[in-house]
Structure 1
Amino acid sequence: MKADAGELAAALAPGALLALAGLGAGGLLAATLAPAEREALGAMLAPRAALLLLAWAALAIALGVLGRRAHAVWVRQPARLAEAAQALLADGDAVRKQPLPAAAACASSARALVDVAERLARQRDALRADIGAKVREAARGIEQERSRLAALMSELTQSVIVCNLDGRILLYNPRARLQFRALSPTGGAELLGLGRSIYAVFDRQLVAHALESVQQRLQRGAAQPSAQFVTSSRAGQLLRVQMAAVRDPSAAPGDAAQLSGFVLMLHNITREFEQDAERDRLLHALTEGSRASLGSLQAAVDMLELPDLDPSARERFLRVVREEVRSMTARLQSLAANASESLKTRWPLEEMLGEDLVQAALRHIEARSQVRASAADVDPGLWLRVDSYALLQALASLAARLAEEFGVARVQLRLRREGERVHLDLAWNGTPISTETATAWESSPMTVGDDASPLSVRDVVERHGGAFWFQRERARQEAFFRFLLPRAQPQEQLEATAVLRSDSRPEYYDFDLFRSGAQGRELGERRLVDLAYTVFDTETTGLDPAQGDEILQIGAARIVNGKVLRQECFEQLVDPGRSIPAAGIPIHGITPAMVAGQPGIGQVLPAFHAFASDTVLVAHNAAFDMRFLQMKEAATGVCFEQPVLDTLLLSAVASPKQASHELEAIAARFGIPVLGRHTALGDALLTAEVFLRLIPLLAAQGIHTLDQAREAAQRTWYARLSY
């Protein structure tokens, strides 16, 4: 731990002053004595020098202890009180849980100062609460509009992204998040996020051309102009993009070209393009093949009409007719089979609560047939992955056939889990059917009244990768059809917000980004409150990368406009390619089984580099984490050249009198709950919260820009440490 220079000086100063006083007094006394008297005095004191030195040492130690104690009471404790009060002033709501420091041995004046500060803080909190109540009341209407927008965006089935004119993303919906996950082999976290550039996905010139087209149409007086283009992603997928303009509300009424941003609506047309291409190929083959066949048929018919055609020639031309008819029939059957297969896969499988599916099936059966339907033995928490439309058709078709052919008036639906699958039963009592009838119903097209489908029950079951059978329970006089369906699997790992503090509604938008300034300004000259940050942490096999220790996990969160974007996190386990020391497993909790099959650092580091692009890196004890990243630059070809800030150093700048600058100690001073400690993402989120609390404390010391923060950090004692 760093020694306190003031405390050391307070402890040593009394002894030094006592020594100087003794030497000075002795010198003055010697100056007033005659030579003989000085010799007599020296002869008298020489044998007692050790006793005098011991007395000096005892007195110096006693005075040093008193000086150290006085320094603690009158200097160090008030300094800590001042730092705590400064933190209270900067972010009072976050630190009110932590009392202002006041040791029991403090002077009464210091304790009185603490009491006054506490009273002032309480008064400030009361005033702040009153102002906050009024602000909340005034902003309730705006919040309702924001909530409606968030709900609307969440329910849209189309991917929507809103950007400012710099191409920075300020809003996106969950559908867009899923869309970008499909565009990236590492989950898409490095592509989409608030404040990130859309040009990481789309070509800048393509977007600029579409935006120019929209502006030109605005100038010509178009009310709601839009532009559309098709582009391909880096993963080779085709995207149809429609662009609409976002007008600047502060623009003059006649200035139609004044824009503040644009909206992109995305649709992945890769599958449609492939299906259309295949359909075109089949139609082309059918057209060309049919043209040739019709030509042969026409020639054969012309020859068969000749009255003097001999029997052998007639038979030869009849064979041509039969072969061409057979060929055309095969082509038509192939086209019909392809159309049927396309119809089978038209509706995507979706995750659905089993109870909701059963209730929808009951309504569907009763609406489409004369059968009364009920439910029993339905697992309430069971989720399925189904094509609900096709499955409801299959259930209604079977119920209608039971009513029409066997007079069944009531059916019952049951839903139970069976291992990793789900049993969905359509059961009835009374007249049983034969296995042959059930098999015929399974393979024939589904019909409900006048409605007919080219699909069969078997097609629906194959679409789900499941099974279907008919079964009788003679003891209960019951028969049932059973569908074996896939169960919706839980996500492989919980979102970080499931265990860490978060808002009830994910933030996929930040309208303050509409006011972003020019991006070309040098980062060093920009204010800390205006920058975007990637706060990260690593878990490693050990502490020495030069001796073969490797990264086990990287976790990161982004800060944009002073907010921690908990929905835009990066968390990835890494296969270290070596054994994990048993001594470290209780600390980071990562076992060899957890990293087995995970990507190596060669795949993870480029994805993290893309995630952190255009941001300032932040870490606690950043030199340690950066050393691990730098050791992999040559192997991965990835170099992190952006500025780096260290919360350890910044805490020493903001609160130099504090005894500890460990992450937990800083969090305790700010009243931040410590959750998920010693996981990469948990530590990154905690560091992000700490960093946000440090920014106003740095501003109080005149540290406003990135360059000022880096220079101040480099002057601290902790900056001398290296790895």
Structure 2
Amino acid sequence: MKPAARQLAAVLGPGAVLALAGLGLGAMLAATLSPAERETLGAVLGPRAALLLLGWAVLALALGALGHRAHAFWVKQPARVAEAAQALLVADDAGNGQPVLATAACPAGTRALADVAERLARERNALRDDIAAKVQEGARGIEHERSRLAALMSELTQSVIVCNLDGRILLYNPRARLQFRALSPAAGAELVGLGRSIYAVFDRQLVAHALESIQQRLERGAAQPAAQFVTSSRAGQLLRVQMAPVRDPSAAPGNTAQLSGFVLMLHNITREFEQDSERDRLMHALTEGSRSSLGSLQAAVDMLELPDLEAPARERFLNVVREEVRTMTGRIQAIAASAGKDLKTRWPLEEMLGADLLHAALRHIEARTPMRASASEVDAGLWLRVDSYALLQALASLATRLSEEFAVRRVQLRLQRDGERAHLDLVWQGAPISTETAIGWESSPMTVGDEASLLSVRDVVERHGGAFWFQRERARQEAFFRFLLPLTQPQEQLEAASVLRSGSRPEYYDFDLFGSGAQTHELGGRRLVDLAYTVFDTETTGLDPSQGDEILQIGAARIVNGKVLRQECFEQLVDPGRGIPAAGIPIHGITPELVAGQPSIGEVLPAFHAFASDTVLVAHNAAFDMRFLQLKEAATGLRFDQPVLDTLLLSAVASPQQASHELEAIAERLGIPVLGRHTALGDALLTAEVFLRLIPLLAIQGIHTLDQAREAAQRTWYARLSY
């Protein structure tokens, strides 16, 4: 029976029992009387029936009130004490010797049990602290090494991000945070953070290709393999990335190729690349302009050599020579001045064994086209200097066109030395193509299936400083595309130059995320303790979003690996585009002056959406906050479709007998200090701490997964509220 039903039974039950008892006694008395006596008794009691009914009602009310008090004293109060005692299990302390369970209105036996529960909780905390101290003492050496590594990574002047094999970030240094701050409107909070996916920044296939390259080198026994690539961010910034492996310490002896993650070192080369492009443009202008000037000079010199040239004509040609010399001198001086401003930054290329490149290319082509691919005439000792990802895209793009437009079903790859360079051939038989078609394929953007690139094959070739052409061999009845690529020395090395400034503590790391495995099942079936959460709160102009009230501030914190990441918070004031009612200012403290010049909700919401992506949303009275967000979905084109948990409903599930489920009341029961109330971020942080304490209380009731928590929350009375 539900608590409300039991309470109703306690109030109405005594009256019903009294009525049944009266009817039963009347029936028994009537059975002992003769017909005449029953008629006489009826005549006596009939006129007094109203008085008897009134007496029954008064007695029933008195007994009902007594039953209600008895239920509250013997049932409800002990149940509340039991829930409060369960809260002691998740509180940080047990009152430090002071009673924390309200037992004044409870029976003596309940008070005695509460005293025992408090003593046991205090002893539990003392034992827990003692065990923690011993564990910390035993792990001091490991923690020292961990802190030393984290401090080193934190103080590197280069941007560093460490990820596990799922691409989840488990360490990043302040330099990386500063770099990503320039790439987003939310100080990089939605791009980099513990537990976040690096694939929000970098293309998954690009990272996978670099990892595959490292894995191949490890399998060959390379001591310090590395890969590098260049990519652009969504903000248009050009980033050069170096990748190094993190080996799995639990791998079998001798299995050095087993990885547990990877390290990314980032450098923003946007400015350097722009300078390089500008210098190339100037060099092109120099060569083209000089060619024209030299032509004019040669013509003038030829005319001056004529013996019968008249004086006026001779002077005119001498003026041509002087003018062209002056023009060329000015052009060369401009180029020299520009070249002296800074050093030239070339597009970075990686050193790679040619056989590895061909092996990757064969798999790349077969995985993305219906063609069969093989290799022949391969010089296994060639080392190339290439952008392997772009080159594989070029080969796959050409193979796709051959398959789709000329029904070619098989290709071969050849790699041979060609003087100081190497030539890489994509060979097929039959289906000849025209030179005009080959030129068109070379200059058009590359496409492979549904994937499109901004680069063309010509761009890839120019990036390598190489050459590309189409050729037929009629004797063999075959045709091929040939790439001319640069060679390098047969060596592999990674030079990392880093400068340490001071020995401060690291700030952004969680090495426990190394143990996070691939997420292979739906969120609903996953345990609450295994999920990542975004806990958020809003401050608004009023309580009615459907009548024009707007968001003034959004604050959010993330929970990863069972910890609140206080250094990775989202906090942003919002210009509501309307007035702020004076009655609400004393509550949230946000004045019109504070929001003047702040971004609109249309600018803030995309950043918050990115910050909360790939997580479960948590809020207190979430229906209210979610209504504000949902009303903006149509205007912004965003959808907050991830699962949502409400600490108000979860508190009602975990502690159904408690009189209040307001945020402050829950925090007090769970021993959480209340700070920064009625600010969006302060309430979000408090809600996050409350949520973490509710998880073990839900587990006591057998609620372990996300689906179980949501189903239990929807059965509470508070779930009927709507906004």
**Counterpart secondary structure, 2:89:** helix
Q: Is the 2:151–2:505 Cα contact (8 Å) retained in structure 1?
A: no
For normalisation by structure 2, the TM-score amounts to 0.72
Q: 1:341 to 1:224 in 2, by over 3 A?
A: closer
What is the letter of the counterpart of residue 65 of structure 2? V
* 2:178 aligned with 1:196: no
Q: Is the 1:87–1:95 Cα contact (8 Å) retained in structure 2?
A: no
Deviation of the 1:305 alpha carbon = 8.7
Which residue number in structure 2 is paired with residue 630 of structure 1?
Answer: 630
* 2:717 aligned with 1:714: no
Which residue number in structure 2 is paired with residue 588 of structure 1?
Answer: 588
Q: Is the 2:164–2:262 Cα contact (8 Å) retained in structure 1?
A: yes
List aligned pairs for 1:622-701, cutoff 5 A: 622-701=622-701
Q: 1:505 to 1:18 in 2, by over 3 A?
A: farther
Q: 1:340 to 1:592 in 2, by over 3 A?
A: farther
**Structure 2: gaps of 5 or more residues:** 344-503
Q: 1:267 to 1:223 in 2, by over 3 A?
A: same
Q: 1:551 to 1:505 in 2, by over 3 A?
A: farther
1:615-658 per-position Cα deviation (integer Å, ceiling 9, x unaligned): 11111112222222222222222122221111111111111111
Q: How many matched pairs?
A: 562
* 2:217 aligned with 1:225: no
List aligned pairs for 1:99-178, cutoff 5 A: 99-178=99-178
Q: Is the 2:191–2:201 Cα contact (8 Å) retained in structure 1?
A: yes
Q: 1:105 to 1:95 in 2, by over 3 A?
A: closer
Q: Is the 2:154–2:507 Cα contact (8 Å) retained in structure 1?
A: no
List aligned pairs for 1:175-190, cutoff 5 A: 175-190=175-190
**Counterpart secondary structure, 1:130:** helix
In structure 1, distance between residues paired with 2:191 and 2:125: 41
**Counterpart secondary structure, 1:555:** strand
**Counterpart secondary structure, 2:241:** strand
Deviation of the 1:275 alpha carbon = 1.1
Q: 1:205 to 1:713 in 2, by over 3 A?
A: same
Deviation of the 1:209 alpha carbon = 0.8
List aligned pairs for 1:406-421, cutoff 5 A: none
> Which stretch shifts more, 15-24 or 684-693?
15-24
**Counterpart secondary structure, 1:66:** helix
1:666-715 per-position Cα deviation (integer Å, ceiling 9, x unaligned): 11111112222222222111111111001111111111111111121122
Deviation of the 1:289 alpha carbon = 4.2
What is the letter of the counterpart of residue 223 of structure 1? A
Deviation of the 1:719 alpha carbon = 1.8
Q: 1:530 to 1:521 in 2, by over 3 A?
A: same
1:189-227 per-position Cα deviation (integer Å, ceiling 9, x unaligned): 222121111111111111111110000000011011011
In structure 1, distance between residues paired with 2:97 and 2:18: 46
Which residue number in structure 2 is paired with residue 259 of structure 1?
Answer: 259
Q: Is the 1:98–1:669 Cα contact (8 Å) retained in structure 2?
A: no
> Which stretch shifts more, 640-649 or 33-42?
33-42
Which residue number in structure 2 is paired with residue 45 of structure 1?
Answer: 45
In structure 1, distance between residues paired with 2:572 and 2:505: 24
In structure 1, distance between residues paired with 2:97 and 2:50: 55
**Counterpart secondary structure, 1:188:** coil
1:344-363 per-position Cα deviation (integer Å, ceiling 9, x unaligned): xxxxxxxxxxxxxxxxxxxx
1:543-588 per-position Cα deviation (integer Å, ceiling 9, x unaligned): 2222222222222211111011112222222333333333222222
Q: Is the 1:96–1:671 Cα contact (8 Å) retained in structure 2?
A: no
Q: 1:706 to 1:107 in 2, by over 3 A?
A: same
Which residue number in structure 2 is paired with residue 13 of structure 1?
Answer: 13
In structure 2, distance between residues paired with 1:687 and 1:547: 27
List aligned pairs for 1:375-394, cutoff 5 A: none
Q: Is the 1:170–1:195 Cα contact (8 Å) retained in structure 2?
A: yes
In structure 2, distance between residues paired with 1:120 and 1:528: 27
In structure 2, distance between residues paired with 1:661 and 1:94: 21
Q: 1:643 to 1:95 in 2, by over 3 A?
A: farther
Q: Is the 1:98–1:671 Cα contact (8 Å) retained in structure 2?
A: no
Q: Is the 2:577–2:600 Cα contact (8 Å) retained in structure 1?
A: yes
In structure 2, distance between residues paired with 1:518 and 1:298: 71
Q: Is the 2:240–2:268 Cα contact (8 Å) retained in structure 1?
A: yes
**Counterpart secondary structure, 2:142:** helix
Which residue number in structure 2 is paired with residue 521 of structure 1?
Answer: 521
Q: Is the 2:618–2:644 Cα contact (8 Å) retained in structure 1?
A: yes
Q: Is the 2:535–2:685 Cα contact (8 Å) retained in structure 1?
A: yes
Q: Is the 1:507–1:565 Cα contact (8 Å) retained in structure 2?
A: no
Q: 1:693 to 1:722 in 2, by over 3 A?
A: same
For normalisation by structure 1, the TM-score amounts to 0.72
Q: 1:289 to 1:615 in 2, by over 3 A?
A: same
Which residue number in structure 2 is paired with residue 276 of structure 1?
Answer: 276
In structure 1, distance between residues paired with 2:650 and 2:105: 30
What is the letter of the counterpart of residue 650 of structure 1? L
Q: 1:95 to 1:104 in 2, by over 3 A?
A: closer
Which residue number in structure 1 is paired with residue 71 of structure 2?
Answer: 71
In structure 2, distance between residues paired with 1:673 and 1:325: 81
What is the letter of the counterpart of residue 255 of structure 1? N
Relative CO higher for 1 or 2, CA cutoff 8 Å, sep ≥ 6? 2
What is the letter of the counterpart of residue 151 of structure 2? A
1:95-133 per-position Cα deviation (integer Å, ceiling 9, x unaligned): 769843233242222222122122222222221221122
What is the letter of the counterpart of residue 77 of structure 2? Q
Deviation of the 1:309 alpha carbon = 7.3
In structure 2, distance between residues paired with 1:97 and 1:653: 29
1:412-451 per-position Cα deviation (integer Å, ceiling 9, x unaligned): xxxxxxxxxxxxxxxxxxxxxxxxxxxxxxxxxxxxxxxx
**Counterpart secondary structure, 2:93:** helix
**Counterpart secondary structure, 1:160:** strand
What is the letter of the counterpart of residue 611 of structure 2? F
1:274-305 per-position Cα deviation (integer Å, ceiling 9, x unaligned): 11112222334345545655676677778879
**Counterpart secondary structure, 2:599:** coil
What is the root-mean-square deviation in Å for CA atoms of aligned residues?
Answer: 2.8
Q: Is the 1:80–1:101 Cα contact (8 Å) retained in structure 2?
A: no
**Counterpart secondary structure, 1:93:** coil
In structure 2, distance between residues paired with 1:699 and 1:679: 30
Identity within the alignment, %: 85
List aligned pairs for 1:440-519, cutoff 5 A: 507-519=507-519
Q: Is the 1:15–1:60 Cα contact (8 Å) retained in structure 2?
A: yes
Q: Is the 2:96–2:122 Cα contact (8 Å) retained in structure 1?
A: no
In structure 2, distance between residues paired with 1:323 and 1:632: 66
In structure 2, distance between residues paired with 1:254 and 1:554: 52
Which residue number in structure 1 is paired with residue 538 of structure 2?
Answer: 538
**Structure 1: gaps of 5 or more residues:** 344-503
Q: Is the 1:506–1:567 Cα contact (8 Å) retained in structure 2?
A: no
1:31-69 per-position Cα deviation (integer Å, ceiling 9, x unaligned): 322333334334433454454444434433333333223
Which residue number in structure 2 is paired with residue 563 of structure 1?
Answer: 563
1:298-325 per-position Cα deviation (integer Å, ceiling 9, x unaligned): 7777887999876545644554454345
